[in-house]
Structure 1
Amino acid sequence: MKMSDVAKLANVSPSTVSRVLTQPDMVSKETRERVLEVIKKVNYRPHIVARQFRTKATKILLVVVPDITSPFFSEVLRGIEHVAINSGYQVILGDTQNNINREEEYINLLHQKQVDGMILLTARIDKEKLEAISNEFPMVLACEYMDGLNVPTVSIDNVSSARKATEHLLTLGHKKIGHITGPINVVLSRDRLRGYQQALLSHDLEIDSAYIQEGDFSIDSGYNQMLKLLALESPPTAVFTFNDEMAIGAIKAVKDSGLEVPKDIAIVGFDNIKMSSLYEPNITTIDQPKYEIGIKAMELLLKIINGESIQKKKFVLKDNLMIRESCGTNVNIEIS
């Protein structure tokens, strides 16, 4: 069944059928309903390749993630897809597996006109390359970012939120606080480390390099780096971890060492993934508005695709500190 067949049955021109499918507001209600009735009756499906050839649009968007196995990104992706589907777009995923070369390979899909736009949930290639691509193609960054990059970006304030998490441990009386970072070549790791350091300095506490261990985002690295902290002659009494997955690994290391959380050592995570409220003990963590980040990023990308001007480039969403059992309280408290 071709578009011309639908047009003949509905007694309209093929161009009218096309407008009903792509610009329905430009067609009268009576005509639109007649065409849609025929389309439904004959089960007509537009030829996607032909439509792309005519409109030079694929109606496909690419979302590039650093690690598809991370539970953090699933909520961000839900927000992205919710807006995309409601706007008539399909979403495909590219998993870089934290590999910069793979990130560049996915970006090449823009040059090949295989997608209409891209949301990067990772940004680790050269700043100049990213800016050059964003000047030519629709692109939005979300979660990760770069200082001074003139590209629409959606994130939280990672320095402030890390400072807030560390401040909470300080208010509980801890003075020996460790930090398990993410890979230091990632901007989020550096910003959360900075927030941790700012909190200690604001309380006139010395920053002990032995209390800072670099992980790789995973449960295993949280476990291994926690063992290193526990092996110190004077181990910390509290630890702030880069994310909840490493917090889970850290708690297991404490338990396997014959100690208890939070009785012997307090743990704070980051991201508020679903497992953080189910794990024993429940993990105190920073709640990122993951779903809202995805929605905002997708809305911005659609505006760029539609040729709308975006004056504001940096969108910083609100985070919250979720206080739970892992740092010494059995009451769920949310602090903005």
Structure 2
Amino acid sequence: MSGLSTFRVDPRSGVGIAAQIRTRIAFLIADGELAPGDRLPPVRDLARQLGVNVNTVRSAYAKLDADGLVRTRHGVGTVVLATGVESPHTGALPLGVNTVAVLVGGLNPFYLSLLRGVEDVAAEQGTLVLVTDTRDSPTLAEAMIRRLIARGVDGIVAVSVGGIGTNAGAPPIVYVDQPDRTGHVLLFDGHGAGYAATRHLREHGHERIGIVTAPLSWPNVREVYEGYVQAVGEADGRLVAEVDEFTVDAGRAGLERLLELPDPPSAVFAAGETLALGVLHEAKSRGIDVPADLAITGYTDSPAAALVEPPLTMVSVPAREIGIQAMQTLAELIRGKKLRTRRKVLDVELVLRESCGSH
């Protein structure tokens, strides 16, 4: 059970600890590392290993039980159930339940909201949802796709995941937030988001506006960056802090880089919520007054952005709605409905709070 023995939770990811545990175990079951009949570690043992409350582990186990992946029996423990998959894409679970996999680039509040939309539709249809975190690794994403095909999942929702090529025998796939894809694709208006967040800062007198962004080689990130460029008129490469991932620590590192400039920016657009939280934390740790000395806007949104001090001005995306639409589309494809391929772009909205100095 090496997949659990090396597992660690991330309390700063913005995703509940119980959800992280449940997601990891569900993946290990889908991947075959946890086989039918295997026992999960006792609740107290796993809680001690992860350094979390026993009730958190109980909650994760209870959700896995409700999903039909495990069964907990007094005196026996928590045992992995057989999925009953007979052949690819037949949905041959014990009660005729289809299984779909959701691949996400990483676990953060944005994905959590999207997953709720997917699971809302899946629950109505009795569909089992397995969630796989690809950790923003194209190589890992491709490997996961192959394994999921081998396990016979009925469909896949791929969210902000690179590295997925054409795989023989693949089930229906709906792509989310991947502008470089063809087929069934649902997108946010990333260009509009980058433009709106940056244009708002310009309208309030800021001329030197920096950006903290994930790798510009990622197509969804590039669109947001191009919106930023349109708003500033001409990008100054010194004001572009490109970081490796969407994390709070990466956001802090990005702002640190911008503040080292001889003429640092008076405002920063962070092209991701966790990046924006990192920018804010770094600014406050240095005694910088936000927004008096540094205005901040960000992209995507969640309750966390409204709870920090000062609350962050963000471009909000309809994450739950896109999850609903992705699952609805996938369900129709699984049922064999012939759908015309489409490329749908969902609108975004600038939510004004205090971090930009205009609210």
With the shorter chain as reference, the TM-score category is: 0.7 to 0.9
1:192 maps onto 2:224 in alignment? yes
Quickly say closer, same or farther: Cα 1:100–1:207, change in 2 above 3 A.
closer
Q: What do the CA deviations read for 1:118-144 (whole angstroms, capped 9, x no partner)?
A: 110133115xx24x55x852110112x
1:2-41 pair list within 5 angstroms: none
Residue aligning to 1:62: 101
Alignment CA distance shift 1:51-1:66 (3 Å): closer
Structure 1 stretches of 4+ with a deviation exceeding 3 A read 47-53
1:264-303 deviation per Cα after TM superposition (whole angstroms, max 9, x unaligned)? 1100011112210001000000101010010000001011
The question of whether the paired residues in 2 share the 8 Å contact of 1:183 and 1:217 is answered with no
Match of 2:55 in 1: none
1:163-174 to 2 correspondences below 5 Å: 163-174=195-206
Q: Distance in 2 between matches of 1:231 and 1:167?
A: 24
Q: In 1, Cα distance between the equivalents of 2:280 and 2:129?
A: 36
Partner of 1:210: 238
In 2, the alpha carbon distance for the partners of 1:175 and 1:77 equals 38
Structure 2 gaps, min length 5: 1-80, 93-97
Change (3 A) 1:86 1:52: farther
Distance in 2 (alpha carbons) for counterparts of 1:217 and 1:81: 24
Q: Does 1:71 align with 2:109?
A: yes
In structure 2, the CA distance between the partners of 1:277 and 1:57, relative to structure 1 (3 Å rule), is: same
Q: How does 1:79-158 map to 2 (within 5 A)?
A: 79-112=117-150, 114-125=152-163, 129-130=165-166, 136-143=170-177, 145-147=178-180, 149-158=181-190
Rg comparison, structure with higher value: 1
Question: How far apart, CA to CA, are the structure 2 residues paired with 1:90 and 1:170?
Answer: 47
Q: Which amino acid aligns with 2:298?
A: G
> Which residue matches 1:252?
281
Deviation string, structure 1 residues 5-45 (Cα, Å, up to 9, x no partner): xxxxxxxxxxxxxxxxxxxxxxxxxxxxxxxxxxxxxxxxx
SS of 1:327's equivalent in the other structure is: coil
The aligned residue for residue 319 of structure 1 is 348
Counterpart Cα distance in 2 of 1:73 and 1:136:
23
Distance between the aligned counterparts of 1:231 and 1:270, measured in 2? 24
The TM-score with structure 1 as length reference comes to 0.76
Distance 1:50 1:297 in 2: 26
Q: Is there any run of 5+ residues in structure 1 with no aligned partner, and where? A: 1-46, 331-336
Q: Using the alignment, how far apart are the partners of 1:244 and 1:220 within structure 2?
A: 12
Q: Which residue of 2 aligns with 1:283?
A: 312
Match of 2:260 among 212, 221, 231: 231
Q: Is the 1:61–1:90 contact (alpha carbons within 8 Å) kept by the matching residues of 2?
A: yes
Secondary structure in 2 matching 1:84: helix
RMSD across aligned C-alpha pairs, in angstroms? 2.2
**Paired residue type of 2:100:** L
Give the distance between the partners of 2:185 and 2:321, measured in 1 at CA: 13
Secondary structure of the 2:351 match is strand
Amino acid at match of 2:281: K
> Which has the larger helix fraction?
1
2:271 equivalent to 1:242: yes
In structure 2, what is the Cα distance between the partners aligned to 1:50 and 1:100? 30
Could you tell me which amino acid in structure 2 is paired with residue 264 of structure 1? D
Once the two structures are superposed, residues 64-123 of structure 1 have per-residue CA deviations (whole angstroms, 9 ceiling, x without a partner) of 11112x111001001001101111210011111122222112212453252111110133
Equivalent-residue separation in structure 2 for 1:252 and 1:150 (angstroms) = 38
SS in structure 2 at match of 1:94: strand
**Number of residues of Structure 1 aligned to a counterpart in Structure 2:** 273
Question: What is the distance in 2 between the residues matched to 1:309 and 1:171?
Answer: 47
Q: Identity of paired residues, percent?
A: 31
Which letter maps to 2:128? Q
Question: Do the aligned residues in 2 keep the contact of 1:60 with 1:115 (CA within 8 Å)?
Answer: yes
Shift of residue 169, structure 1, vs aligned partner: 0.5
How far apart are the structure 2 equivalents of 1:229 and 1:317?
Answer: 32
Cα shift readout 1:298-335 (whole Å, capped 9, x = no counterpart): 001011111212225111111100011000134xxxxx
In 1: Cα distance, 2:325 partner to 2:254 partner: 35
In structure 2, what is the Cα distance between the partners aligned to 1:256 and 1:92?
A: 39
- SS of 2:315's partner is strand
Please point out which of 296, 301, 323 is paired with 1:267: 296
- CA-CA distance at 1:56 after TM superposition: 2.9
How far off is 1:48 after superposition? 7.8
Is the 2:85–2:152 contact (alpha carbons within 8 Å) kept by the matching residues of 1? no
The answer as to whether partners of 2:134 and 2:161 remain within 8 angstroms in 1 is: no
Relative distance call for 1:225 and 1:50 in structure 2 (3 A) is: closer
